[in-house]
Amino acid sequence: MPANPLGRALRNRRAGHHTLVWARPELQAPESFTLSSPAFEHGAPIPEKHKGRLFGADISPALEWTAPPAGTAELVLIVQDPDVPMGKPATHALTVGVSPELRRIPENGLAHPSSVAGLRHGKGAMGRRGWGGPMPPRSHGPHSYVFQLFAIDTRLELPESFTLDQVVAALAGHVLARARLDGTYEVV
């Protein structure tokens, strides 16, 4: 497939990792538990079956984590792409209500509605709920997909169609610990 001239022209234009919710001062906390996936290693490419709907099956990868700290009332998962050629990262999953007793979300467990009891999805990529897999512009170069898991000391009370801004505001002052997993994806 020939190179995409627009993707090439925007190659050096990216939101940046400093725009992730992970970098926000009000969400800083110890990284005292770990997040992983049987589908890919930290920093490695995300398999094609997890691509966005325009290119692939759009199946969320399975995720696993170690025990969060004592006092955790809920886990919150936010998946973002900081390499989009815009001023802020694209949100590919915005999930609250993850029980602190869980240690994994199965493959496609981030679908809307979810097969995992208690999970609630906010509006993410292109206004849709649930997993929106990688869909970077062709020829733009590799994109990072940052899975950010926050252990919090309270249950979130959010409206049915909650947004990223509402989640971040609700998390402020309540993050006990956090874990991160980075994957990559590129359309050449």
**Would you say residue 181 lies in a domain?**
yes
Q: pLDDT band at 11, cuts 50/70/90?
A: low
**Would you say residue 21 lies in a domain?**
yes
pLDDT more than 70, % of the chain: 93
CATH number of the domain enclosing 120: 3.90.280.10
In DSSP terms, 11 is beta-bridged to none
103-130 confidence digits (pLDDT tens):
999 999 999 999 999 999 998 866 789 9
For 28, the domain range is 5-98+109-185
Q: What is the DSSP letter of 156?
A: -
pTM for this structure?
Answer: 0.94
**Would you say residue 103 lies in a domain?**
no
**Would you say residue 47 lies in a domain?**
yes
Give Rg (Cα) of the chain.
16
Q: What is the DSSP letter of 109?
A: T
For the chain, what is the domain count? 1
Q: Which amino acid is at 144?
A: S
**Would you say residue 66 lies in a domain?**
yes
